Structure 1
Amino acid sequence: MIIDPFFYLCAVPAILIFGMAKGGFGGGIAVVSVPLMSLAISPVQAAAILLPILLVMDAVALWSFRGKWDKPNIKILLPGAVIGIVLGSIGFRYLSEDMIRILIGLIAVVFCLNYWLKKPAVAAQGPSVIRGGFWGAVAGFTSFGIHAGGPPVNMYLLPQRLEKSLLMGTMAIFFAVVNVIKLIPYSLQGSFDHTNLLTAAVLMPVAPIGVRLGFYLLHKVSEQSIYRICYFFLFVVGLKLLFDGGAGVFAH
């Protein structure tokens, strides 16, 4: 089990933030979690520790949004996600930890810039097999590597302007299935050793607290304020990971 206090200083807020996103508060902010934990441990280990915790979050989210999900969108998104997971399981094994830090940092910075610079859609869009398949595959890939599938799925679902609970219920179903599928390649790659599983077990009680907190705050607090704070810190963390990864690559 990891005993470094700095790790838990990073991990507990990371899990709370991810849980709040699962609970419907601040969807895309979950991308903060792996980069934040990567300040203390390797990105690969951070992702392995998080996956069992995410399964607990998924169970709480499914219960919170039970009966509320959009079947056509799920049928469009999941096949693409499976392709993305397969590509991720193949691609990430050939990257060094420094290259993964650069990839995570780049994704974090791009997500922040997209959030700050994007223009609001003029009219609501409907489901699309092409767009849904593409963003589903991107979500599967980023979800496999750093559990950051939320922003790509948001890029597909948000323009449809679904009712808030229906949107979150659809995402809850999607990621519950995706995370169960991810157990297969993670297990085959030996990600679930005793250290990672024990550390995940210690952090597990934080998971349902985060989800229920997000579900509560969904109706109580300005989501825009939380987005601004989290994306600012995500941008800073992303830049640091880019610097650390770049320094490691050029040092070799």
Structure 2
Amino acid sequence: MITFDLMFFVLAIPAVIFAGISKAGFGSGAAFAATPILALILPPAAAVGLMLPLLMLVDLATLGPYWRRWDTRAALLLIAGAVPGVALGALLFRAADPDLFRLLIGAVALGFVLYQLALRAGLFRIRGRPFPQWGGVVAGTTAGFTSFISHAGGPPVAVFLLAQGLGKTTFQATTVLVFWIINLLKFVPYAALGFFSNDTLRADLMLAPFALIGAWLGVRAHRLMPERAFFAVTYVLLTVTGAKLIWDGLI
């Protein structure tokens, strides 16, 4: 059950706008920050169930600006891998208790931050040459699984696409297409697992305008806003929320 109090809206509205901006303008790598934020006040299943229709709405809003500007081969490899990844996520979610997923969502959030910091510190580099085809399938499987658990499929997709040497807009367009398909794949198992309820539907209707505002801002930010400043805020946010979720899952 969702309590529609002041705290819910104080956290949910900025989180949804942020997700829309990130997903529409920055390869969706940080869009999953909304899930750890919502999981601070909601059960994990309710948090991911609430976010999926909003992310699908952002997908539809952003397909137009990036239509047919994607890399079809890379997208197909990632989508092929995502199918078993989503299936694996569904099987695991059915078997585990909510505290495990607080831990998983928190760990993914902190892992993403550590990955970005290590990359910027030069501890390792993304490949300068394209991965083989199986690399795209592996990245897609990982993305399908982490996307099912916490809408956090961005990092493996980004690693694979960056290694292809794509331009900024081709990279973004391919990401939009891939996650549009992944989110469609997730909808039926989410429904079967009971992630959707009357409360999540009410919340989605109230938050949908803010998701569209985020998408509108994201498409424009893709052209105008420095990514460094945007993601600096993202890393701080993910570190705090990820640590809090791990704490909640352990105690």
- TM-score w.r.t. the length of structure 1 is 0.93
With over 3 angstroms needed to count, the CA separation of the structure-2 counterparts of 1:236 and 1:156, relative to structure 1, is same
The question of 1:243 aligning with 2:243 is answered no
Instruction: State the Cα RMSD in Å.
Output: 1.5
Deviation larger for 1-10 or 16-25: 1-10
Tell me, yes or no, if the aligned pair for 1:84 and 1:139 is still in contact at 8 Å.
yes
- How far 1:124 sits from its partner (Å)? 3.1
- Of 194, 211, 220, 2:224 maps to 220
Q: CA–CA distance in 1 between the matches of 2:105 and 2:186?
A: 18
Q: SS where residue 235 of structure 2 aligns? A: helix
Unaligned runs of 5+ in 1: 248-252
Cα offset for 1:100? 0.7
User: In the TM superposition, what are the counterparts of 1:127-138 in structure 2 within 5 Å?
Assistant: 127-138=131-142
Superposition pairs for residues 162-177 of structure 1, below 5 Å?
Answer: 162-177=166-181
Q: Hey, which bits of structure 1, 4+ residues long, moved more than 6 A?
A: none
Displacement after TM superposition at 1:70 (Å) = 0.5
Matches within 5 A, 1:146-161: 146-161=150-165
In the TM superposition, what whole-angstrom CA distance separates every residue of 1:121-149 from its partner, at most 9, and x where no partner exists?
47632252221111100100011111111
CA distance in 2, matches of 1:139, 1:87: 11
* CA-CA distance at 1:241 after TM superposition: 0.8
Equivalences for 1:2-13 in 2 at 5 Å?
Answer: 2-13=3-14
Secondary structure at the residue paired with 1:196? helix
Tell me, in whole angstroms, the C-alpha distance in 1 between the residues paired with 2:102 and 2:34: 13
2:103 corresponds in structure 1 to: 102
Name 2:91's counterpart in structure 1: 90
TM-score (norm 2): 0.94
Residues 1-252 of structure 1: pairs in structure 2 closer than 5 A: 2-25=3-26, 27-118=28-119, 119=122, 121=125, 124-247=128-251
Structure 2 contact 86–186 (Cα < 8 Å) conserved: yes
Specify the code of the residue in structure 1 equivalent to 2:173.
Answer: G
Q: Which residue is 1:250 aligned to? A: none
Unmatched segments (≥5 aa) in structure 2? none
Relative distance call for 1:176 and 1:26 in structure 2 (3 A) is: closer
Q: For the residues of structure 2 that align with 1:105 and 1:192, how far apart are their CA atoms?
A: 22
| Distance change >3 Å, CA 122–CA 16, structure 1 → 2 | closer
Contact 1:48 1:192 in 2 (8 A): yes
Q: What letter is aligned with 1:83? A: P
Q: Does 197-206 or 121-130 show the bigger shift?
A: 121-130
In structure 2, the residue corresponding to 1:41 is in which secondary structure?
coil
1:27 aligned counterpart, secondary structure: coil
State the distance in 2 between where 1:198 and 1:40 align: 16
Q: What is the one-letter code of the residue matched to 1:4?
A: D
* Equivalent position amino acid for 1:116 in 2: L
| 8 Å contact from structure 2 (residues 19, 30) kept in 1 | yes
Q: In structure 2, how many angstroms separate the alpha carbons of the residues matched to 1:144 and 1:26?
A: 17
SS of the residue corresponding to residue 30 of structure 2 reads: helix
Corresponding residue SS for 2:234: helix
Residue 51 of structure 1 deviates from its aligned partner by: 0.8
Partner Cα separation in structure 1 for residue 107 and residue 127 of structure 2: 30
CA distance in structure 2 between the partners assigned to 1:49 and 1:212 by the alignment: 20
**Number of aligned residue pairs:** 247
Q: Please identify, of 117-126 and 105-114, the stretch whose mean Cα deviation from structure 2 is larger.
A: 117-126
Q: Read off the aligned partner of 2:95 and give its amino acid letter.
A: Y
Residue-by-residue CA offset, 1:157-194 (whole Å, 9 max, x unaligned): 11222111111110111111111111110111122221
Aligned mates of 1:205, 1:2 — CA distance in 2: 20
